[in-house]
Amino acid sequence: MDVLSDVMAFMRCGRATSSRISWRAPWGVAFHSVPGSAGFQVVLRGSCWLIPPDGEPVPLSMGDVVFLPHGDRFALADDPSRTLVESDCEPHSELFASAGFGGTGAETVVLSCGYRLDLDRTHPILGSLPGVIHLPATLGSHPELRAAVELLAAEIDNPRPGTDTVVSSLLDMLQLYVLRAYFETQDEPCTVSGWASALADPVVGRALDAIHRDPAQRWTVESLGAHAGMSRAGFARRFTGLVGQPPLAYLTWWRLMSAARLLRESDASVARVAEQVGYGSEFAFGNAFKREFGVAPGRYRRRSSAA
């Protein structure tokens, strides 16, 4: 898998849930923080205001998407000066639900989506994101994201046979489109550090893609640099500066994260898992895994199965 797809599949727990909420003025609701979650707010109809935990209120229009990658507290309202009511909504397990709140005035329809994340395997990409990402529905901007929003709205407004599968797939697409759009809009991606720069950088991005597509390959700093089209020393400096750790340190970490996923999600033996992520012996794999997770691979699998 490519880096972004791999990372999101790795961190998420279960499938997304969503609610289609019809708000009628006057209304204003504050949503509490939910650690270990990431969520979207998509304006399907009308307009409203996003009130972040810090900073000024942000006007939202139809087609706007807000991504909250850390589950931080936020509020939505028809007017930024509106008195806010604390939300008493509890998490649900439905793929999508519908509800209506507020008064009798102008209507705003918002699609609220949420994902659970495993904080024990958070990728540094997530930590690099701000608390609130707002992607306005600017004409001609991010056409794939706009198309996904329109398709979601159509499916939820008019459920038909197969809607569950369509909505689930579109929510996955939406998450990736949002992250892609965010990283693509960062200024001067190759002159500042951070994951936006790493993914956009043609050299480091190529090396990351190689690691994620084939972690079992016997990569060295020299071979990764050659794959990315750069000398060993220059590549090592560039990779470390953008990713925040040396190439082989990241490779080792990703191998172990991939091994943990295989132990949780497959019946492959520990020896087979070791081989799949690039370890020549089960013993070496077991030692490296225990250093990272604090338990041996077999015990990790049993503990995950019992959870």
- Please check the confidence at residue 47 and state whether its pLDDT lies above 80: yes
| Helix (H), strand (E), coil (C) string for the chain | CCHHHHHHHHHEEEEEEEEEEEEECCCEEEECCCCCEEEEEEEEECCEEEECCCCCCEEECCCCEEEECCCCCEEEECCCCCCCEECCCCCCCCCEEEEEEECCCCEEEEEEEEEEECHHHCCHHHHCCCCCEEECCCCCCCHHHHHHHHHHHHHHHCCCCCHHHHHHHHHHHHHHHHHHHHHHCCCCCCCCCCHHHHHHCHHHHHHHHHHHHCCCCCCCHHHHHHHHCCCHHHHHHHHHHHHCCCHHHHHHHHHHHHHHHHHHHCCCCHHHHHHHCCCCCHHHHHHHHHHHHCCCHHHHHHHHHHC
Mark whether 137 and 164 lie in a shared domain.
Answer: yes
Q: Are 148 and 173 in contact (CB under 8 A)?
A: yes
- Asked if residue 248 belongs to a domain, the reply is yes
Q: Is the pTM of this model over 0.85?
A: no
Q: What is the pLDDT of residues 278-303, one digit of tens each?
A: 999 999 999 999 999 999 999 999 98
- Please check the confidence at residue 9 and state whether its pLDDT lies above 60: yes
- Asked if residue 75 belongs to a domain, the reply is yes
Mark whether 84 and 209 lie in a shared domain.
Answer: no
Q: Are 18 and 111 in contact (CB under 8 A)?
A: yes
- Asked if residue 254 belongs to a domain, the reply is yes
Q: Binning pLDDT at 50, 70 and 90, where does residue 209 land?
A: very high
**Spatial separation of the C-alpha atoms in residues 152 and 123, rounded to whole Å:** 28
Mark whether 250 and 121 lie in a shared domain.
Answer: no
- Asked if residue 190 belongs to a domain, the reply is no
Mark whether 35 and 109 lie in a shared domain.
Answer: yes
Q: How many domains does the chain have?
A: 2
Mark whether 162 and 16 lie in a shared domain.
Answer: yes
Residue 127 confidence (pLDDT): 81
Mark whether 62 and 166 lie in a shared domain.
Answer: yes
Residue ending a domain, choose from 122, 157, 184: 184
Mark whether 120 and 264 lie in a shared domain.
Answer: no
- Please check the confidence at residue 11 and state whether its pLDDT lies above 90: no
- Please check the confidence at residue 54 and state whether its pLDDT lies above 60: yes
Residue 191 confidence (pLDDT): 41
Mark whether 253 and 148 lie in a shared domain.
Answer: no
Mark whether 258 and 147 lie in a shared domain.
Answer: no
* CATH assignment of the domain containing 295: 1.10.10.60
Mark whether 178 and 224 lie in a shared domain.
Answer: no
* CATH assignment of the domain containing 49: 2.60.120.280
Mark whether 222 and 283 lie in a shared domain.
Answer: yes
- Asked if residue 189 belongs to a domain, the reply is no
Sign of dihedral through CA atoms 125, 130, 132, 138? negative
Residue ending a domain, choose from 184, 208, 225: 184
- Asked if residue 15 belongs to a domain, the reply is yes
Residue 274 confidence (pLDDT): 97
Q: What is the pLDDT of residues 221-271, one digit of tens each?
A: 999 999 999 999 999 999 999 999 999 999 999 999 999 989 988 999 999
Q: Which residues constitute the domain of residue 280?
A: 195-306
- Asked if residue 206 belongs to a domain, the reply is yes
Q: What is the pLDDT of residues 143-178, one digit of tens each?
A: 888 888 888 888 877 888 988 888 888 888 888 888
Mark whether 211 and 176 lie in a shared domain.
Answer: no
